[in-house]
Structure 1
Amino acid sequence: MKLTKNTTQGMIRCAAVALMAVAAWTGCAGEGGGSSDGEGLNGKTKIAQATLEYTEAEGGAVDDQLQIAEAEENIHVNGAVYASQDGIRKAIALTNMVKGLKHGLEMYHQDTIRREGDPEPVEDGFMGDAEEEPTTTEEAPQEVDATIRAAGIEEVRRTRDMVAEEAARAGSESLEQEVALLDQLIANMEEGGTAPVDYSGEEFGAADGFGGAAPGGGGRLGATPGGAQDIGYLRRLIEEGRVPAPDHFEAEGLFSEHDLPLEGASCDQMLCISAAHGFGPDFVDGGQTGFVQIGFSSGLDAATFRRKPLNLSVVIDRSGSMSGERIAAARAALERLVDQLSPEDRLSLVVFNNDAAVLMGPTMVTDPEGVKALVNGLEADGGTNIEAGLRQGFTFVDAHSDDPAMEHRVILITDAQPNVGETGESEFVNLTEEYAARGVGLTAMGVGVEFGYELALAIGRVRGANTLYLEDAEKLERVFDQDFDYLVTPLAYDLQLDFQPSQGFRIRDVHGVPDWDASAGTLSLKVPTVFVSRNKGAIVVELEVERGSGDPL
């Protein structure tokens, strides 16, 4: 299937760059399309057209266009996905992994029929061992439908086999790692889920050592949308023997962990956005589906990339819920972070429990060892007043946010379980948005198996923000030694894609970004921020092929 492109170039608006591109995806069957046991793409099929607009973080004028990979051949045969590019095939496999896993977990967790008076599910979303007893006077037993549970397990097993097949075809080590994750999840489901390991008092990474330097070498960097940068929390839960709830699995985090490059013209700009597509059956219901991958890349060279100096405040949770491995992880994170700073960077340190306390006001980092010493004896106790700590950190950064030569950011290290001051998700989102409007971004880093995932994800989706989870010492080392400079470097803001499917197609779903609307038949999706990354990021749009009159294929 050949893809043709029609683009318009950028324009200046309100002293900022508004980058606009228009693309039409047009397909025609390649030689040998179709088969005796399936059906091919016949004639020319215009899939969709789209307009794209965003503001570059640096405000410089660039010649931008939505690139479409050419010479693509896609053939649909019943029961299989066909796309010539490995990047789009991998993206489709990950999309189907999201769909299959969510579907299987939904069935698995529907096996418990809750009655009035039954204990609520525990805070982290698991059905199971709650502390409270039913408040009704009569017995309120939990009824388990073994058939539904077995169907959920089978759906996850089917998902695992699909990922394994693509991993073997492509020789993909990263997909093989997902197969291992799904194997562990299936074992957890078959065993009914087990209690989490008690890590209280265990030193985080005590035996791991933290040697190593940031990787060298060149090559083009990638770009990923903000929000969740991993599925580390879900991985940790599965490793602990748990069966996560479906809403603990976010496509945006999974995509950000994988490199999803698309073929086509090389990127020589700060941010390049391209597209490719494939066809195949919907993983859940088997319907004919088109998968359009919107790919993100950058022309920045990894060997020469240097982030801007930072105006940074690190806010550390030292409340009682952070005892044991969590406070040890927070101390280790701060030490690793300081190793990435230079005398050009300004840093302040704030800790909080019942209230906020300042360990160091805004100071240029000329004595990194002295900064590390400030948290060496940090212990956990008291309540969790995230609001007080976060507000103090924002205030410190905001005081110097008029310096255009610096990147202005707060890093919050917490288990995200507020119980003092403001505790509602909306209040923290409002606070983060207030300072985002003043040019101050936020990176939320989670620790601990009982992590307030929903809160961290909500504030991490605000403009200028992102979030990740430090599940182990290896992850902590990778985040700070390899990825730190990228996590604090936005490339673009307020990206909006308006996507109009052609007749015969309709929007089925969007994966990799939470803010989208297709109620009027036209997809409008928004990405508040795009960050530099080692990986080429992606958003995947599913298009349902409408059968009946005017069959497009």
Structure 2
Amino acid sequence: MSRTVLLLSAAALLALGALALGLPKPPPVLDTTHTVATPDEEAATEVLPWVASSGWGPLTLEGKLSGAWVQSGPSEAFAVLEVKAREPKEQRRVPANVALVIDRSGSMRGQKMDDAKQAAREFISQVRPEDRVTLVHYGTDVTVFPATLATEYERERMYAFVEGIEDGGSTNISGALEAAAEQLKGATEFFKVSRIILLSDGQPTAGLQREEELFALARTLRGQGIAVSGLGVGADFNENLMQGIADQGGGFSGFLRSEQLAEVFTRELEQATRTVARAVEVRLTLPPAVHSVEVMGVTAVREGNEVRVPLYDMAGGQSARLVVKLSLETEASDDPLELLVATVHYINVETDRPAEAQVALTAKSTEKPKVVRAHLDKDVRVHAHRALGTQQMRAAAEEMKRGNRQSALSLMGSARRFFGASASALSGDIEDLDRTRDAYEHAQSASEQRDHARSLQIKSIKNFGQENAY
């Protein structure tokens, strides 16, 4: 006998007992057909069509629900949304208004400082004469190379500025970001793309020091038309801070390895100068049938019946996927019920004007569990299982950083069980997780453990459908 039948039978018996005793009816049982796979159920085979936005802007939006029907009463469902940036008809490089911000605090002494300076030289070698460039280095105080077009003469001056950097002092990240922004603000109306690239080990000791304050600063700069990327230097850099700054600033995050400096800056500058949409944000409008919502793996803020999800600036060919878990309360209906309206808002870089794309997702509601189960979407179910497992992976990465080996291994085991619910589709994820678990179990040093934690964290970001991590 299936779990669903057992639950419904139990609910019916409780209701009859309550009526016989004159007691209030028990609350209805939450239906989890869309979100929980039972051992005895047959695999979903249906593939529902994507609901696509209309229009010809640089961003498109598609979405669909985890099934064509939901169970009446309280239930759960998933939605998957895909934001995609069209490749422009003509590949044209957009001149950038960009600032490189370099941490020179005492914690950067040695190899980290050498790597940061080499990264700055690589950056200078890749900018072009049409780019407007600012350099900033900081410890307790902040030193600025004023914004200028990157002509050959000015690039030579920039190289000399970088050679003169000496480590020392506290880590005033906020002061450096504010100084860089002041340099960029004077030209944001003339340049379609403005960006700050922060190089740091992410250990603030002066100015704003709490993560929440630095995230708020990144959000403010993004609202002023300046994206912020965070690139970590040194094996012990604060990944959560640098990633959070990038997430809130609409930029990219990554780890600067000595042997990959050229590759990282090539990708960062290509992304910036090929941007087709900036200030990208998905807004989810929730109808009365939706009681709560969880956007899995990304930052989301709810205000009344609207949930806002900031995304990164997008170049042609880039995309972002959101997996959304919905808690519902519906009445049986053969007419489609609107369960989610999603709108992506952004600035079209070519026209420098606001634009949007929208989809509305609907499903019917029934009292018949078999109808619900017969119309589940197999692809959305795979996305859901990957997202649920990835939540456990991300938690495992945090436990690795804390040195909690057994807890990390247990969480990786939980992740594997979620992936196993769609084992054929997620076989690659399972194999990758098994390799990471085996390597972590045999890691001999704290440095090796940090590397595995970082690898798992980057894998988590990509599994959640985000393309803003190197």
Output the CA distance in 1 between the equivalents of 2:168 and 2:330: 61
1:65-76 to 2 correspondence within 5 Å? none
Does the CA-based 8 Å contact 2:250-2:313 persist in structure 1? no
- Count of matched residue pairs: 298
Confirm whether residue 309 of structure 1 aligns to residue 88 of structure 2: no
2:125 corresponding residue in structure 1 = 339
2:253 corresponding residue in structure 1 = 468
Identity %: 24
Distance 1:483 1:434, change over 3 A: closer
Output the CA distance in 2 between the equivalents of 1:435 and 1:508: 28
Deviation of 1:490 after TM superposition, in Å, equals 6.2
1:409 corresponding residue in structure 2 = 195
Among 322, 328, 341, the residue aligned to 1:539: 322
CA-to-aligned-CA distance 1:208-253 (integer Å, 9 cap, x gap) = xxxxxxxxxxxxxxxxxxxxxxxxxxxxxxxxxxxxxxxxxxxxxx
SS at match of 2:86: strand
1:275 corresponding residue in structure 2 = 63
Distance 1:476 1:266, change over 3 A: farther
Distance 1:538 1:473, change over 3 A: farther
2:310 corresponding residue in structure 1 = 527
Output the CA distance in 1 between the equivalents of 2:263 and 2:86: 23
Among 167, 176, 197, the residue aligned to 1:380: 167
1:421 corresponding residue in structure 2 = 207
CA-to-aligned-CA distance 1:42-90 (integer Å, 9 cap, x gap) = xxxxxxxxxxxxxxxxxxxxxxxxxxxxxxxx9997447646679x9xx
SS at match of 1:300: coil
Deviation of 1:377 after TM superposition, in Å, equals 6.0
Confirm whether residue 480 of structure 1 aligns to residue 268 of structure 2: no
Matched to 1:466, the amino acid is: G
Distance 1:320 1:268, change over 3 A: same
Distance 1:402 1:523, change over 3 A: closer
SS at match of 1:470: strand
Structure 1 unaligned runs (5+)?
1-35, 40-73, 89-261, 280-286
Deviation of 1:348 after TM superposition, in Å, equals 1.7
Output the CA distance in 2 between the equivalents of 1:492 and 1:83: 38
Output the CA distance in 2 between the equivalents of 1:334 and 1:361: 15
SS at match of 2:87: strand
Deviation of 1:339 after TM superposition, in Å, equals 3.4
Does the CA-based 8 Å contact 1:483-1:534 persist in structure 2? no
Distance 1:381 1:273, change over 3 A: same
Does the CA-based 8 Å contact 2:292-2:328 persist in structure 1? no
Matched to 1:271, the amino acid is: L
Deviation of 1:271 after TM superposition, in Å, equals 0.5
Distance 1:371 1:310, change over 3 A: same
Matched to 1:543, the amino acid is: L
Output the CA distance in 1 between the equivalents of 2:44 and 2:260: 34
Deviation of 1:454 after TM superposition, in Å, equals 4.0
Does the CA-based 8 Å contact 1:432-1:459 persist in structure 2? yes
Deviation of 1:310 after TM superposition, in Å, equals 1.5
1:158-307 to 2 correspondence within 5 Å? 269-278=57-66, 290-301=77-88, 304-307=90-93
Matched to 2:195, the amino acid is: R
User: Structure 2 length as normaliser, TM-score?
Assistant: 0.52
SS at match of 2:188: coil
Matched to 1:412, the amino acid is: L
Output the CA distance in 2 between the equivalents of 1:85 and 1:331: 52
Confirm whether residue 449 of structure 1 aligns to residue 232 of structure 2: no
CA-to-aligned-CA distance 1:126-167 (integer Å, 9 cap, x gap) = xxxxxxxxxxxxxxxxxxxxxxxxxxxxxxxxxxxxxxxxxx
Output the CA distance in 2 between the equivalents of 1:362 and 1:413: 18
CA-to-aligned-CA distance 1:366-404 (integer Å, 9 cap, x gap) = 22455345424644322212233222211211233332x
Distance 1:475 1:440, change over 3 A: same
Deviation of 1:274 after TM superposition, in Å, equals 0.7
2:187 corresponding residue in structure 1 = 400
Output the CA distance in 1 between the equivalents of 2:301 and 2:101: 32
CA-to-aligned-CA distance 1:4-62 (integer Å, 9 cap, x gap) = xxxxxxxxxxxxxxxxxxxxxxxxxxxxxxxx9899xxxxxxxxxxxxxxxxxxxxxxx
Does the CA-based 8 Å contact 1:76-1:82 persist in structure 2? no
Confirm whether residue 516 of structure 1 aligns to residue 301 of structure 2: yes
Among 349, 369, 373, the residue aligned to 2:135: 349
Deviation of 1:527 after TM superposition, in Å, equals 2.3
Matched to 2:214, the amino acid is: F
Output the CA distance in 1 between the equivalents of 2:220 and 2:267: 30
Output the CA distance in 1 between the equivalents of 2:118 and 2:46: 44
Output the CA distance in 2 between the equivalents of 1:75 and 1:389: 45
Output the CA distance in 1 between the equivalents of 2:54 and 2:267: 24
Output the CA distance in 2 between the equivalents of 1:510 and 1:300: 27
Distance 1:263 1:335, change over 3 A: farther
CA-to-aligned-CA distance 1:72-122 (integer Å, 9 cap, x gap) = xx9997447646679x9xxxxxxxxxxxxxxxxxxxxxxxxxxxxxxxxxx
Distance 1:544 1:388, change over 3 A: closer
Output the CA distance in 2 between the equivalents of 1:454 and 1:473: 21
CA-to-aligned-CA distance 1:400-442 (integer Å, 9 cap, x gap) = 3332x44222221111212123323454345445544443332
Deviation of 1:297 after TM superposition, in Å, equals 0.7
SS at match of 2:205: coil
User: Structure 1 length as normaliser, TM-score?
Assistant: 0.45
Does the CA-based 8 Å contact 1:317-1:351 persist in structure 2? yes
